[in-house]
Amino acid sequence: MRVAAVLACASLSWCLSGEVQRAQQATQADPYGYVVGISAGSQWRLASAPTDSIKIGTVLKPGDRVTAATEPAATLSVMEYATGRVVSLKSGQLVPSAGAPRQSGWARLSEAIARRLSNERLSEGVVRARPRLTDAARLIGSNPWSSVVVDLPAGSYRARFRRLDREGTPAGDWVTSSDLTVAASGFTPATLPTDLGPGLWQVSIRHRDSPSVGGEAWLLLTKDGDTVRQFNELSQILAGSADSGDPEVVQGTLRVRRAALLALAP
Amino acid sequence: MAAREVILGTMVAALICPSVGGRQNNQSANPRDHALAAALGARDAAQAVRLATEALSAPLSLPAGHPASDVLGPSLRSRLPVLLSNTPPGAISSAHLNNLGVALALRGWTDSAAVAFSGAMLVADPRTAGMRWGSAVDPGGASRSVQNSQYFSSTPNPVVVNIENLSRLLKSGSVQYGGRGPYEFFNGLLETAEKRATPDERLRAMAEVFPPIVSRSLSDALTAATPGAPATPWAFDRAYRSFAQYKGKYLRSLDSRRARRIAAAASQSDQWDDRGLYGFDPASRLQPGEVFVDLYVVDLGDTLASLRREYVAVIVSRTTAGGPQVQRAGPQVVSLGRAAALDDAVLDLRSDLESPKGREVLAALAARLWGPVAAHLPPGTRRVWLSPDGRLGPAPWQALAMSVSGPSAVTVSIVDSGETIREPRSRAVTRSAKALLVGNLDYGAGKLPALKTTDEMKGVEEVLRSSGLQGTVLTGASVDRSRLLAALPARIIHFATHGEFRPAPTAVTGLSVGAWVVLDADLRATATDDAAMRRGPTLDPAALQRQLAILGEEAKRTGKSPTPDQVRAAIEQAQAGSRRQALTPLVQGVLALSGANAVVDQFAPGSAYLSDADLAAADLSATDLVVLSACDLGSSSQRAFQGLMSMQGAVVLAGARGLVASLWPVSDADAAPFMREFYRNLLTRRLPPAEALREAQRAASVDAAGHPRSPFLWAGWMFFGEGW
DSSP A6-65: HHHHHT-TT--GGGHHHHT---TTS-SEEEEEE-TT--EEETTEEEEEP-TT-EE-TT-B
**pLDDT the model gives residue B510:** 29
How confident is the model over A18-25, as a mean pLDDT? 36
Helices (DSSP H) in A101-224: which residue ranges? 104-116, 145-148
Helices (DSSP H) in B181-322: which residue ranges? 182-194, 199-207, 212-224, 233-243, 248-254, 256-268
Do A9 and A109 lie in one domain? The reply is: yes
Buried b (16+ CB within 10 A) or exposed e, B302-320: eeeeeeebbbbbbbbbbee
**pLDDT the model gives residue B567:** 59
Decide if A96 is inside a domain.
yes
**pLDDT the model gives residue B123:** 35
How far apart are the C-alpha atoms of B516 and B616, rounded to whole Å? 9
**pLDDT the model gives residue B458:** 96
Residue of B nearest to A179 (CA): B344
B261 φ, ψ to 5°?
-65, -40
Which of helix, strand or coil describes residue B502? coil
Amino acid at B57: S
How confident is the model over B520-547, as a mean pLDDT? 35
CB burial of residue A1 (10 Å; 0-12, 13-18, 19+): exposed
Range(s) of the domain holding residue B199: 163-246
Comparing C-alpha atoms, which of A140, A142, A133 is closest to residue A215? A133
pLDDT band at residue B671, thresholds of 50, 70 and 90?
very high
Residue of B nearest to A203 (CA): B351
Q: Which of A249-263, B54-68, B78-92, B335-349 has the lowest mean pLDDT?
A: B78-92
B647 interfaces chain A, CB cutoff of 8 Å: no
pLDDT tens per residue, range A128-182? 777 889 999 999 988 889 899 988 887 889 999 999 998 888 888 888 777 888 8
Q: Is the CB of B581 less than 8 angstroms away from the CB of A154?
A: yes
Do B153 and B167 lie in one domain? The reply is: no
Phi/psi zone of residue B345: left (φ > 0), alpha (ψ -120 to 50 degrees), beta?
Answer: alpha
pLDDT band at residue B719, thresholds of 50, 70 and 90?
very high
Do B103 and B73 lie in one domain? The reply is: yes
Which residues fall within 8 angstroms of residue A80, CB to CB, at 6 or more apart?
A32, A33, A86, A87, A99
How confident is the model over B19-24, as a mean pLDDT? 25
pLDDT tens per residue, range B323-348? 444 444 556 778 898 888 999 999 98
Chain B CB contacts of A211 below 8 Å: 346-347, 349-350, 394, 635, 663
Interface of B with A in 330-349 (CB under 8 A): 343-344, 346-349
A158, A185, A209: best mutation site toward chain B, by most B Cβ within 10 Å? Answer: A209
Do B16 and B148 lie in one domain? The reply is: yes
Do B277 and B360 lie in one domain? The reply is: yes
Which of helix, strand or coil describes residue B286? coil
The pLDDT of residue B388 is above 70: yes
CA dihedral B121, B122, B123, B124 (to 10 degrees): 50
Do B448 and B594 lie in one domain? The reply is: yes
Helix B182-194 to helix B110-123 angle, to the nearest 10 degrees?
Answer: 110
pLDDT band at residue A102, thresholds of 50, 70 and 90?
low
Do A100 and A162 lie in one domain? The reply is: no
CA dihedral A21, A26, A29, A31 (to 10 degrees): 120
The pLDDT of residue B538 is above 90: no
- How much of chain B is in helix, strand and coil states, percent to nearest 5? 45, 15, 40
Decide if A173 is inside a domain.
yes
Cα B559 → chain centroid: 35
The pLDDT of residue B536 is above 50: no
Q: What was the ipTM of the complex prediction?
A: 0.79
CB burial of residue B202 (10 Å; 0-12, 13-18, 19+): buried
Decide if A26 is inside a domain.
yes
Do A114 and A141 lie in one domain? The reply is: no
Q: Is the CB of A155 less than 8 angstroms away from the CB of B447?
A: no
**pLDDT the model gives residue B8:** 32
Which of helix, strand or coil describes residue B231? coil
pLDDT band at residue A240, thresholds of 50, 70 and 90?
confident
Do B9 and B153 lie in one domain? The reply is: yes
Decide if A69 is inside a domain.
yes
Q: Is the CB of B445 less than 8 angstroms away from the CB of A245?
A: yes
How confident is the model over A118-127, as a mean pLDDT? 73
Do A166 and A217 lie in one domain? The reply is: yes
pLDDT band at residue B502, thresholds of 50, 70 and 90?
confident
How far apart are the C-alpha atoms of B628 and B659, rounded to whole Å? 8
More confident of the two residues B214 and B86: B214
pLDDT tens per residue, range A55-89? 999 999 999 999 998 777 888 999 998 888 999 99
Chain A CB contacts of B355 below 8 Å: 170
Which of helix, strand or coil describes residue B481? helix
Do B234 and B325 lie in one domain? The reply is: no
Do A21 and A93 lie in one domain? The reply is: yes
- How much of chain A is in helix, strand and coil states, percent to nearest 5? 25, 30, 45
DSSP B358-381: HHHHHHHHHHHHTHHHHTTSPTT-
What are the Cα distances from residue A126, in Å, to A259, B139, B447, B497?
A: 17, 57, 12, 12
Decide if A260 is inside a domain.
no
Do A92 and A12 lie in one domain? The reply is: yes
The pLDDT of residue B238 is above 50: no
CB burial of residue B88 (10 Å; 0-12, 13-18, 19+): exposed
Cα B573 → chain centroid: 23
The pLDDT of residue B64 is above 80: no
Do A102 and A188 lie in one domain? The reply is: no
B272-275 long-range CB contacts below 8 Å, 24 or more apart? B272/B314, B272/B330, B272/B331, B272/B332, B272/B333, B273/B330, B274/B314, B274/B316, B274/B331
Cα B76 → chain centroid: 33
**pLDDT the model gives residue B84:** 55
Do A83 and A159 lie in one domain? The reply is: no
Q: What percent of chain B has pLDDT over 90?
A: 24
Chain A CB contacts of B343 below 8 Å: 208
Comparing C-alpha atoms, which of B255, B256, B395 is closest to residue B339? B395
Tell whether the torsion through CA atoms of B642, B645, B651 and B657 is positive or negative.
negative
Amino acid at B245: Q
Q: Which of A4-18, A158-172, B636-650, B671-685 has the lowest mean pLDDT?
A: A4-18
What CATH number is associated with residue A160? 2.60.40
pLDDT band at residue B223, thresholds of 50, 70 and 90?
low
CA dihedral B403, B404, B407, B410 (to 10 degrees): -120
Q: Which of A112-121, B27-36, B435-444, B500-509 has the lowest mean pLDDT?
A: B27-36
Positions of E strands within B416-498:
434-441, 470-476, 492-496
CA angle B287, B404, B298 (to 5 degrees): 70
Residue of B nearest to A174 (CA): B352
Comparing C-alpha atoms, which of A128, A124, A131 is closest to residue B631? A128
The pLDDT of residue B676 is above 80: yes
The pLDDT of residue B579 is above 50: no
Element (H, E) at B479: none
Chain A CB contacts of B710 below 8 Å: none
Biggest CA–CA distance in chain A, Å, is 58
Phi/psi zone of residue B717: left (φ > 0), alpha (ψ -120 to 50 degrees), beta?
Answer: beta
The pLDDT of residue B146 is above 70: no
The pLDDT of residue B134 is above 60: no
Q: Indicate the residue of A184, A210, A250 with minimum beta-carbon distance to B449.
A: A250
Do A24 and A103 lie in one domain? The reply is: yes
**pLDDT the model gives residue B265:** 53
Do B569 and B674 lie in one domain? The reply is: no
The pLDDT of residue A12 is above 70: no
Do A106 and A170 lie in one domain? The reply is: no
pLDDT tens per residue, range B152-204? 222 333 445 666 677 777 777 776 666 555 555 666 676 677 677 777 777 77
How confident is the model over B239-262, as a mean pLDDT? 43
Which of helix, strand or coil describes residue B431? coil
Q: Is the CB of A213 less than 8 angstroms away from the CB of B634?
A: no
Do A112 and A166 lie in one domain? The reply is: no
Q: How many domains does chain B have?
A: 4
More confident of the two residues B30 and B620: B620
Do B387 and B351 lie in one domain? The reply is: yes
What CATH number is associated with residue B394? 3.30.420
How far apart are the C-alpha atoms of B249 and B295, rounded to whole Å? 10
Do B535 and B675 lie in one domain? The reply is: no
**pLDDT the model gives residue B19:** 26
Tell whether the torsion through CA atoms of B77, B83, B86 and B92 is positive or negative.
positive
Do A107 and A19 lie in one domain? The reply is: yes
Element (H, E) at B137: strand B135-137
How far apart are the C-alpha atoms of B232 and B613, rounded to whole Å? 32
Q: Which of A94-108, B478-492, B702-716 has the lowest mean pLDDT?
A: A94-108
Which residues fall within 8 angstroms of residue B615, CB to CB, at 6 or more apart?
B626, B647, B650, B651, B654
Comparing C-alpha atoms, which of A118, A106, A39 is closest to residue A77? A39
The pLDDT of residue B441 is above 70: yes
Amino acid at B10: T
Q: What average pLDDT does the structure give for chain B?
A: 67
pLDDT band at residue A122, thresholds of 50, 70 and 90?
confident
- Find residue B517's DSSP bridge partners: B161, B512
Positions of E strands within B447-546:
470-476, 492-496, 499-501, 512-513, 516-518
The pLDDT of residue B213 is above 90: no
Q: How many domains does chain A have?
A: 2
Decide if B573 is inside a domain.
yes
Chain B CB contacts of A155 below 8 Å: 503, 505-506, 581
DSSP B312-329: EEEEEEEE-TTTTSPEE-
**For every residue of B245-259, which 3-state class applies, written as one string?**
HHCHHHHHHHCHHHH
The pLDDT of residue B30 is above 50: no
Do B615 and B470 lie in one domain? The reply is: yes
Range(s) of the domain holding residue A77: 2-118
How far apart are the C-alpha atoms of B696 and B666, rounded to whole Å? 15
Q: Is the CB of A127 less than 8 angstroms away from the CB of B450?
A: no
How far apart are the C-alpha atoms of B141 and B133, rounded to whole Å? 16
Which of helix, strand or coil describes residue B464? helix
What CATH number is associated with residue B698? 3.40.50.1460
Do B573 and B590 lie in one domain? The reply is: no
Min distance B73 CA to chain A CA atoms (Å): 43
How far apart are the C-alpha atoms of B265 and B330, rounded to whole Å? 12
More confident of the two residues B273 and A124: A124
How confident is the model over B284-301, as a mean pLDDT? 79
- Find residue B352's DSSP bridge partners: none
Among A118, A145, A170, where does a domain finish?
A118
More confident of the two residues B567 and A249: A249
**pLDDT the model gives residue B390:** 76
